[in-house]
Amino acid sequence: MKNTFSGEQGKTYMFRISNIGLSTSLNFRIQGHSMKLVEVEGSHVIQNIYDSLDVHVGQSVSVLVTLNQPPKVYYIVASTRFTRSVLTATAVLHYTNSQTPVSGPLPAAPAYQFHWSMQQARTYRWNLTSNAARPNPQGSFHYGKITPTKTIVLANSASLINGKLRYSVNGVSFINADTPLKLADHFNIPGVFSMNAIQDVPSGVAASFATSVMPASLHDFLEVVFQNNENTMQSWHLDGYDFWVVGFGSGQWTPKKRRTYNLVDALTRHTTQVYPNSWTAILVSLDNQGMWNMRSAAWERQYLGQQLYLRVWNSVRSLSNEYDIPSNVLLCGKAVGRHP
């Protein structure tokens, strides 16, 4: 039996579409109906109309659908994108005043591939008139007028380490420590993680293991470029933050690519796609102190090393920067026996 969504003719309903899969982008569409995009991972966006939407691993979007068609039952379709074999899941949209069963072929997926999807992604823009006039989530500055403190280029790769497949970032394949990194940092426990293993830009060195942590200062404003030199789709997530997705492009990123950035109304989100042999650029304001995981949203790649941590730090102890560690914190690994 197919899942059924019922609604009254003439009314408008909101659908939130999330890709909670492990590895594959999907395309979402509803037979005979257009969708008005209204929200992307907490950002209100320009309300463009789409026949179908690509949703990549770990991403969510919200759309409004008006039941303005002849009353019957219509297919709802989600199908895989950029895969040799296309897998399709269906549900139905049922008009409550309908006695006509679902019929006809499933609505077709987009005929075009990566370039079409990248062009669609560029149409996602922040709605600057919604939720009052605020230029950014913090309401104090405009992201496009700030000079980044630092530029970081992160290149993903697949390679063999000791004869086994691993995924790496700038030549470093992440391994989990036996002590939570936040505890190791709080208690200043040596030997748990390394803050010099991973470099700000790819160096071309052979891949190696490390519990890699990249240092940054509280209130830094970072430009991060995800460089994908592989033939597969990538999806990147950053804990603790939303970030502005300012640019997509094919080939190798260079500083000249900044001319193509959207520095006016780029949306904020927490997960962004990177197309094969392409790059994606984000800007992020480091206003949340802590130890934050930056990782592939594809679970195989994350599990096998495509991740790192970003240590956002200020030496001044203040509750305005970070709350104290809880008195009942669970201690494990090398933190056992230490006192908060």
Q: What is the DSSP letter of 297?
A: S
Tell me what pLDDT residue 339 has. Answer: 82
Tell me what pLDDT residue 140 has. Answer: 56
Tell me what pLDDT residue 134 has. Answer: 53
pLDDT bucket at 86, cuts 50 / 70 / 90: very high
Tell me how far apart the alpha carbons of residues 335 and 325 are, in angstroms, rounded to a whole number: 13
Percent of the chain with pLDDT over 70: 96
What's the sign of the alpha-carbon dihedral 99, 100, 106, 107? negative
CATH of region 144-335, choose from 1.10.3720.10, 2.60.40.420, 1.20.140.10, 3.40.50.300: 2.60.40.420
- The answer on pLDDT for 122 being more than 90 is yes
Tell me what pLDDT residue 321 has. Answer: 86
- The answer on pLDDT for 131 being more than 70 is no
Radius of gyration in angstroms for the set of CA atoms belonging to the chain, rounded to a whole number:
22
- The answer on pLDDT for 132 being more than 60 is no
Long-range contacts of 107-116 (CB under 8 A, 24+ apart): 107/29, 107/30, 107/31, 107/32, 107/51, 107/52, 107/75, 107/77, 109/27, 109/29, 109/52, 109/77, 109/79, 109/81, 110/27, 110/52, 110/54, 113/81, 113/82, 114/82, 114/275, 114/276, 114/278
Tell me how far apart the alpha carbons of residues 227 and 279 are, in angstroms, rounded to a whole number: 5
- The answer on pLDDT for 18 being more than 50 is yes
Model pLDDT for residues 165-174, shown as the tens digit of each residue? 999 999 999 9
Q: What residues contact 330, with CB distance under 8 A and at least 6 apart?
A: none
Token pair 């800007």 in the structure block, residue = 283
Among candidate residues 272, 273, 277, 275, the one with its CA nearest the CA of residue 229: 277
Domain 4-123 shares a fold with domain 144-335: yes
Helix (H, G, I), strand (E, B) or coil at 244: strand
- The answer on pLDDT for 269 being more than 70 is yes
The lowest-confidence range among 80-84, 140-144, 214-218 is 140-144
Domain extent listing, the chain = 4-123, 144-335
Model pLDDT for residues 272-298, shown as the tens digit of each residue? 999 999 999 999 999 999 999 999 999
- Looking at per-residue pLDDT, the higher value among 327 and 94 belongs to 94
Stretch 132-141: mean pLDDT: 52
- The CATH number that domain 4-123 falls under is 2.60.40.420
Stretch 112-138: mean pLDDT: 81
Among candidate residues 269, 222, 263, 205, the one with its CA nearest the CA of residue 243: 269
Tell me what pLDDT residue 138 has. Answer: 46
Alpha helices in the chain (DSSP H): 114-122, 181-186, 299-303
Tell me what pLDDT residue 139 has. Answer: 53
Helix (H, G, I), strand (E, B) or coil at 299: helix
Tell me what pLDDT residue 290 has. Answer: 95
- The answer on pLDDT for 136 being more than 80 is no
Work out the angle at residue 332's Cα, subtended by the Cα atoms of residues 329 and 335, and round it to the nearest 5 degrees. Answer: 85
- The answer on pLDDT for 133 being more than 60 is no
Long-range contacts of 110-115 (CB under 8 A, 24+ apart): 110/27, 110/52, 110/54, 113/81, 113/82, 114/82, 114/275, 114/276, 114/278
